[in-house]
Amino acid sequence: MNAPARRSATYQDVLDAPEHQVAELIDGDLFLQPRPASPHAKAATVLGMLLGTPFHLGRGGPGGWILLDEPELHLGDDVLVPDLAGWRRGASPDLDLSQAFIETAPAWVCEVLSPSTMGKDRVKKLPKYGAAGVRHAWLVDPIVQTLEVFAWQDGRWSLALTHHGSGEVHAEPFEAVAVELGELWLDVE
């Protein structure tokens, strides 16, 4: 006897997801995860502050970016929610921020890794970002305290930089301003 055909998830499944969970749609599969734990939340929040002031607001840095926390990206048939995303001002004339979701691929994404989402972030989401036009991706692991910086080149992600622990880092595409990585980790106040 044949098993019944699996129904592909739709955007309605994303909309119907419980409010306390992040819902993503990848290759017709619905992925649900709870809101992040404290190490993840701190790393994402502090990184957004460290980049937002010089790049989004232009205070102490070059400006020129629109940076958002957890935007819902509709990239083709996929619905992805990176922890942070950035668009270069003026480079995406079709960028529409008036809706609940964004259909224009960002220039940069950052995924803060959690044990439960690490595989999905690396294996499923990174290729989708590159194929959609994202050119820079950061993977931040607050547990092992690492930053991996990737650049999309020749149809694949190339590792441009890996940094462990604390210290100042100049990482593309935000190399104009140093980021003190130690400020991202939970045990550093």
pLDDT digits (tens, 9 = 90+) for 80-134: 999 999 999 999 888 999 999 999 999 999 999 999 999 999 999 999 999 999 9
Mind listing the pLDDT tens digit for each residue in 17-53? Answer: 999 999 999 999 999 999 888 999 999 999 999 999 9
Q: Determine if the pTM surpasses 0.85.
A: yes
What are the distances in angstroms from CA 144 to CA 72, 175, 186?
A: 27, 23, 11
Contact (Cβ atoms closer than 8 angstroms) between residue 140 and residue 113: yes
**Please, what is the average pLDDT of the chain?**
94
* Predicted local distance difference test score (pLDDT) of residue 93: 84
* Predicted local distance difference test score (pLDDT) of residue 87: 98
CATH of 36-184, one of 3.90.1570.10, 3.40.50.2300, 3.40.50.10540, 3.60.20.10: 3.90.1570.10
Mind listing the pLDDT tens digit for each residue in 54-91? Answer: 999 999 999 999 999 999 999 999 999 999 999 999 99
Nearest C-alpha neighbor of 184 from the set 75, 49, 89: 49
The domains of the chain are located at 36-184
